[in-house]
Amino acid sequence: MQLCEDMMAYPIDRRSLMAGAALGSITLLSTEAEAQPHAAAATPEIYELRTYHLVNGPMKERLDAYLKDAFLPAARRAGCGPVGAFTVAIGAGAPSVVVLVPYPSIADYAALSGKLSADPSYARAAAPFLESKPEGPPYVSLDVKLMRAFPHFPRLELPGVAGSAKSRIFELRTYYSPSEKAGTTKIGMFDTGGEVDIFRRTGLTPVFFAKDLTGPRLPSLTYLLTFPDLATRERSWSRFGADPDWRRLSETPGLTNSEIITGIDNQILSPTPYSQI
């Protein structure tokens, strides 16, 4: 994969999208020169999504100690974050801990390792983790995915009660597409086509939207939602599915799931007590 190429934006003009929807078609734009001017609020963030796979037993306690006392504070000192840390409550991968690290840029992502190495407070707090022995590992394996925030959702949005309510949940969803064109179309539906507005109106509160830059089934996109509890989640998704604007958008030829989505992964996450999100 050529990361530089993947870091290029694939803008879709809102007016072209909605006009295409009205006509039963969609205009895809692949360069800035083709797009109508859209001033995104800021340079899109880069997200690192770490999934630490565990086995039941003392592993989680060891990993929690590292994340709480060493990694999250050091990442904030290095200019990253806020950093989210979650356990998988429902969905594939349990037991595991999912860590979301926002970076201002890809350069900041590349620089974090060096900053941690030069941080004496991190070295002291992380010593038990970094010096783990085979008979007492803090995790089984680690998956890492890099993502770039959508141009018009360039910054992570913190929920109103970040981790304060025990019932609060997060929903992590990844959509896979059959081609770059199809993936770009789905990103456009969210980023400039009105789908995020429908989310907000129906109670689906977004935390981030991003294009996946790495991963096993590219092209794909990932987003994170938050809810006060599972019951609110169920009601919100029901309202979304019945929303007339969503029905019109999703039934437009060229925008249907069967044309642009090949699969969806879904996990319900619970924030750890030390999560910053």
Instruction: Quote the pLDDT of residue 198.
Output: 98
Q: Which residue has the tokens 């019932």?
A: 167
Instruction: Quote the pLDDT of residue 166.
Output: 76
Instruction: Quote the pLDDT of residue 49.
Output: 98
> Rounded to whole angstroms, how far apart are CA atoms 170 and 208?
11
β-strand 84-90 against 169-176: which pairing, if any? unpaired
> Rounded to whole angstroms, how far apart are CA atoms 137 and 54?
10
Beta-bridge partner residues of 100: 49, 84
Half-sphere exposure of residue 55: CA atoms within 13 angstroms, side-chain side: 4
Instruction: Quote the pLDDT of residue 41.
Output: 58
Amino acid at the residue 56:
N
pTM of the model: 0.85
Instruction: Quote the pLDDT of residue 7.
Output: 37
> Rounded to whole angstroms, how far apart are CA atoms 178 and 171?
23
SS3 string, the chain, reads CCHHHHCCCCCCCHHHHHHHHHCCCCCCCCCCCCCCCCCCCCCCCEEEEEEEECCCCCHHHHHHHHHHHHHHHHHHHCCCCCCEEEEEEECCCCCEEEEEEEECCHHHHHHHHHHHHCCHHHHHHHHHHHCCCCCCCCCCEEEEEEEEECCCCCCCCCCCCCCCCCCCEEEEEEEECCCHHHHHHHHHHHHCCCHHHHHHHCCCEEEEEEEECCCCCCCEEEEEEEECCHHHHHHHHHHHHHCHHHHHHHCCCCCCHHHHCCEEEEEEEEECCCCCC
Instruction: Quote the pLDDT of residue 161.
Output: 57
Could you list the pLDDT tens digit for every one of the 277 residues in the chain? 434 434 334 333 444 344 334 333 333 333 232 333 344 558 999 999 999 999 999 999 999 999 999 999 999 999 999 999 999 999 999 999 999 999 999 999 999 999 999 999 999 999 999 999 999 999 999 999 999 999 999 999 998 754 446 789 999 999 999 999 999 999 999 999 999 999 999 999 999 999 999 999 999 999 999 999 999 999 999 999 999 999 999 999 999 999 999 999 999 999 999 999 9
Instruction: Quote the pLDDT of residue 128.
Output: 97
